[in-house]
Amino acid sequence: MKANLFGKYHMFILKNVTHKYGDKTILQATDWAASQGEHWLLLGNSGSGKTTLLHIMGGLLKPTNGDVEIANQNLHQVNGSKLDRFRAQHIGLVFQKPHLIQTLTVLDNLLLAQYMAGVKKNKQRCLEVLTQLNMQHHKKSYPNKLSQGEMQRVSVARAVLNSPKVLLADEPTASLDDENTVQVIQLLQQQAQVVNATLVIATHDQRVKNEIDQVFNL
């Protein structure tokens, strides 16, 4: 890796990250750094540890070894509610399944994201993002009334709502049809661009590989 690995202008830096369950090594990543606004694909076969790596980058999991620096913050140095707060402010996560809160409307799901992140309530911002994703007419719908593609769009909206520095998507298209796949990938890129976030999409989906050039292989 380059000498400027820990330079200020990198949005995230991974160094010697490995993770073990017991004796079994499930993740061994080469060093990786990305600048602000870059879009990356994280490729690897099933079981290669893509999800584990994203969880580590999202501060959901502590790696057994190695350092993770996100937006100039070494994640080893933050814990507990500080880490929660850091995650809320800097990281947006999209999962294979949308996982919206079923008891709340689309709009309330977004408002909840603001509330949980400890961000000031801003309904205007929620509506703005929904409009960008062409979901504004569903703001009062409950998630179970939406299609998979629509739900995934709402979950993208939720992830970018608080303008994260890093947007991490774990197999976001795995349960979508072709049309929705293209849409969601484009929306992710578009939204990442709007908030100038570094985007990482973990996938083994051939349909996605054509959309993004920069690739990190596990």
Nearer to another protein, 104 or 182 (CB): 104
Q: Where are the alpha helices (DSSP H) in the chain?
A: 50-57, 80-90, 106-117, 123-132, 148-160, 178-194, 206-209
Nearer to another protein, 162 or 198 (CB): 162
CB contact at 8 A, 218 and 54: no
195 forms part of the interface with another protein (CB under 8 A)? no
Count of alpha carbons within 13 Å of 167, Cβ hemisphere only? 33
Q: What is the DSSP letter of 202?
A: E
Which two structure tokens, joined as six digits, stand for 109? 């799901």
Site for another protein in 147-176 (CB under 8 A): 158, 162
Nearer to another protein, 91 or 211 (CB): 91
Task: Give phi and psi for 73, each to the nearest 5.
Answer: -120, 120
Nearer to another protein, 127 or 182 (CB): 127
Contact stretch for another protein (CB under 8 A) within 30-38, 106-114, 192-200, 205-213:
106-114
Among 95, 127, 132, 175, which residue sits at the site for another protein (rule: CB under 8 A)? 95
CB contact at 8 A, 18 and 29: yes
Contact string 117-136 vs another protein (x = CB under 8 A)? xx--x---------------
Beta-ladder partners of 32: 14
Residues that bind another protein (CB under 8 A): 51-52, 55, 58, 60-61, 80-81, 84-85, 87-89, 93, 95, 99, 101-104, 108, 111-118, 121, 158, 162
